[in-house]
Structure 1
Amino acid sequence: MSRIDESKDFLPIRIAVLTVSDTRGLDEDRSGQTLVDRLEGAGHILADRKILRDERAEIAEQLRTWCADPGIDVVISTGGTGLTGRDVTVEAHRDVYEKEIDAFGTVFAMISMQKIGTSAVQSRATGGVANGTYLFALPGSTGACKDAWDEILKWQLDYRHRPCNFVEILPRLDEHLRRK
């Protein structure tokens, strides 16, 4: 159950959006635009947006660059999460993760099951943390991006969400790096 504590102030966070595609440009990037529209509509800040080819090393390098940027709190990628040979986004994300958010993929699959039935087994949506930054890899369909944002990320990226949310622990994600 998602609950918003109206007594708390909304805290906008800075989100980068990465579309992984061998064929799309910005004009054809409906999934990336769906994420941009939703995050901005929720009051968050679009920190950066890029489109990259399905190349594991290039994707991982971009994720690392954004994770090193103190002006980016969250990275959401769309595309390249399927089962074909060119789908390498999940592997690139896992190359970067310090910790995987296992339940993200599970909850996404549960939501997808309600919408697309057993076809949900083909999703490899994933989430993780690296260098104090949240990273989420979503399928390339606009429907999957809408489902992930509307059913999971909209709530978990809202500081007012109860009983807990990703934003309230954001300052502690890299605490292990500060310990002596």
Structure 2
Amino acid sequence: MAHEGHDHDDDHGHGHDHGHEHEHHKHHHHPPHRGHDHHGHSHAEQEHKAHAPAHVSVFVVTCSDSRDEARDESGRALQSGLEAAGHTLSGYKVVKDDPEAIRAVLAEASAAGARAVLFNGGTGIGRRDSTVETLRGLFEKELPGFGEIFRMLSFEEIGSAAMMSRATAGTYKGMILFAMPGSPQAVKLALEALILPELGHAVRELTR
């Protein structure tokens, strides 16, 4: 029950204002990033983007004790969003929210040739929420900015409940890992506002 509660907690009302999500993207998706392009970083920044791979092999993982593939709306949203953007799905799996299962699915993703792994679920404060701890124990380099900006964007949609999310990202064995909440609205926000705009760029940086 604790984990079921987490899934609800991670939603925190992400759903009731979802109609405005794209409006937020219009304001936050491009201006902050593009603004930097014109203040001294433009050449290097654009060069990085120009050489970034347009198609990335991505593995999607849903961490949940209560959802299965048939009821995994968030996993489906991630898959369809990635494919619509031209990326390749190298695998998809629903796993129990425990360290052993998470480590095993990472080995599977690596064997499948994934360059990025997108985790949803297990980022709340419930007793069974262990995704963040497990991944942090494996990260070679953590990218706290993913969680920081996600919570900022989430705050604009759902208010103070956004602080309950421990979403984060980091690198592991040549892959970039993203951990986000388990609600469909949260994964769409993370994917559209943060992951898709930088996925190719991040993978290119990993291979430099």
Could you state the TM-score of these two structures normalised by the residue count of structure 1? 0.84
Q: Greater helix percent: which structure? A: 2
Alignment correspondent of 1:119: 161
CA–CA distance in 2 between the matches of 1:100 and 1:170? 13
Alignment correspondent of 1:178: none
Alignment correspondent of 2:92: 49
CA–CA distance in 2 between the matches of 1:65 and 1:38? 22
Q: Identity, % of aligned pairs?
A: 38
Between Structure 1 and Structure 2, how many residues are aligned?
164
Cα distance, 1:127 vs. partner?
A: 0.0
Matched, 1:168 2:204: yes
Q: Greater strand percent: which structure? A: 1
Q: Which runs of 5+ in 2 are unaligned?
A: 1-30, 35-45
Q: Which runs of 5+ in 1 are unaligned?
A: 159-164, 173-180
SS in 2 for 1:31: helix
Cα distance, 1:61 vs. partner?
A: 2.8
Matched, 1:28 2:28: no
Q: Which of 1 and 2 has greater Rg?
A: 2
Question: In the alignment, which of 99, 120, 126 is matched to residue 84 of structure 1?
Answer: 126
CA–CA distance in 2 between the matches of 1:86 and 1:8? 42
Alignment correspondent of 1:12: 55
Cα pair 2:120 2:182 within 8 Å, conserved: yes
Cα distance, 1:128 vs. partner?
A: 0.3
Cα distance, 1:167 vs. partner?
A: 3.2
Instruction: Go from structure 1 to structure 2 and tell me whether the alpha carbon gap of 1:96 and 1:23 turns closer, same or farther (over 3 Å shift).
Output: same
CA–CA distance in 2 between the matches of 1:46 and 1:145? 16
CA–CA distance in 1 between the matches of 2:203 and 2:177? 13
Q: Deviations over 1:50-99 (max 9, x none)?
A: 111111222123224424x3711000000011101011110111122111
Instruction: Go from structure 1 to structure 2 and tell me whether the alpha carbon gap of 1:62 and 1:77 turns closer, same or farther (over 3 Å shift).
Output: same
Cα pair 1:63 1:96 within 8 Å, conserved: no
Matched, 1:66 2:66: no
